Amino acid sequence: MRERPSLQRRPSFPCARVLAGAVVALGLLLPGVRSAAQQLPPAEPPAPEPGTNQPMATLHVTTNEVLVPTLVENSGKVLYGLKPGDFVLTDNGVPQRLHVDPDMDTAPVALVIAVQQGRSAALEMDKIARLGPLLSIFTGNSRGQMALVGFDSTPHLLHDFTGSLDAIEGSLHQLQPGDGGAAILDSVDYAIDLLESEPDSYRRVLLLVSERRDHGSHHVKPSVLVQRIGASNILVLSLSFSPSAAEFLHDLGDSGSNRTMSMIGTLFMAAQAMKKNVARELAQLSGGEYATFTRDKALQEHLSQLAQRVHNRYMLSFQPQNPAPGLHTIHVSLTQDYDARVIARTNYWASESP
């Protein structure tokens, strides 16, 4: 079995000088760990930070071609047969010449299910344990691989990648309540490491089942995680529990398809948005989807829809006209009014040249 990534803090990515000040400021954005309810055990103390003498690791993202998986729906039904001329894609507001793969996304799926165990997640475990059979929709015909990660104040691998649905189901049924933490940022960072260890031929998907806000991450900053999402082709699908009715209605009306971020301070704004709802922001940054649930039926319906739509995305690609270092904002729309919603990743990260 190959060695799994450790939970040590990931070195920061180098970026353009114009973003340096913003990145430093972002270190103050991550809120401290809130006190857990009295009936919950206290969060575990964070692991000690590694020494400062470690060499810096640099991720150089190839921006010769940027992949943009895109979902187009009308009244819940996928619109098929769209051509390059049906799409408009802008990179930092500049229209790009794009290519559309004639086939839908048919690659086998590498799926990591990251399930919160800490804080109030114990109240949701009976619902989560019954999700096993629906996970087969992601992999289909046993062509894919699945891994299970649990997290409270720290993430931990519950089951390594396997093609056995029974094995993942068994691990889901054995979930135990964790401590008073919910380190969503650290856990997503850990899950990205797992997914990036899988072959490039796989469609990499992270299914996050958690509450909305982070409680207790210490190993990765929001700004670094924004960069990692932007530098990967990982699709994040988020299912959040215990939301308010008002936010639920808001999320139904705002898929993120019409949401644009300022060209100035994009990295700062994306990281700041994670303070309010990290689960939703991560999904939107990756071109994934976010849904909320309170009851068992809603959770199963949302998961089934998310799994089916993984394979119903157009694969758009383009070569940036100006691959300047930093976080680039992407916006995808249609040239005609099909009364459709368009869901695509909202950014990519371009590193400095080696």
Q: What is the pLDDT of residues 248-270, one digit of tens each?
A: 434 444 444 444 333 335 555 55
Residue 25 lies in a domain: no
Residue 56 lies in a domain: no
Say if residue 306 is in the same domain as residue 176.
yes
67-111 residue pLDDT tens: 898 999 888 788 888 999 999 999 999 999 999 987 666 778 999
User: Helix and strand tally (H, E) in the chain?
Assistant: 9, 15
C-alpha–C-alpha distance, residues 316 and 55, integer Å: 36
Residue 6 lies in a domain: no
Spatial neighbors of 231 by CB under 8 A, at least 6 apart, are 13, 59, 61, 348, 349, 351
Say if residue 213 is in the same domain as residue 284.
yes
Residue 210 lies in a domain: yes
pLDDT at 192 over 90: yes
pTM of the model: 0.70
pLDDT at 223 over 80: yes
Task: Answer for the pair 236, 266: CB distance below 8 angstroms, yes or no.
Answer: no
C-alpha–C-alpha distance, residues 125 and 241, integer Å: 11
Say if residue 98 is in the same domain as residue 241.
no
Say if residue 344 is in the same domain as residue 327.
yes
Q: Vertex 277, ends 171 and 175: CA angle to 5°?
A: 15
Say if residue 123 is in the same domain as residue 80.
no
Q: What is the mean pLDDT of the chain?
A: 76
Residue 341 lies in a domain: yes
Q: Which pairing describes strands 290-293 and 235-241: parallel, antiparallel, or unpaired?
A: parallel
Residue 194 lies in a domain: yes
Give CA 128 to chain center in angstroms.
19
Say if residue 200 is in the same domain as residue 318.
no
C-alpha–C-alpha distance, residues 100 and 87, integer Å: 9
Residue 33 lies in a domain: no
Say if residue 187 is in the same domain as residue 302.
yes
User: Domain range holding 334?
Assistant: 66-103+313-350
Say if residue 221 is in the same domain as residue 190.
yes
Say if residue 141 is in the same domain as residue 99.
no
Residue 335 binned pLDDT confidence (cut-offs 50, 70, 90): very high
Output the domain CATH number for residue 254. Answer: 3.40.50.410
Q: Which DSSP state fits 210?
A: E
Say if residue 152 is in the same domain as residue 299.
yes
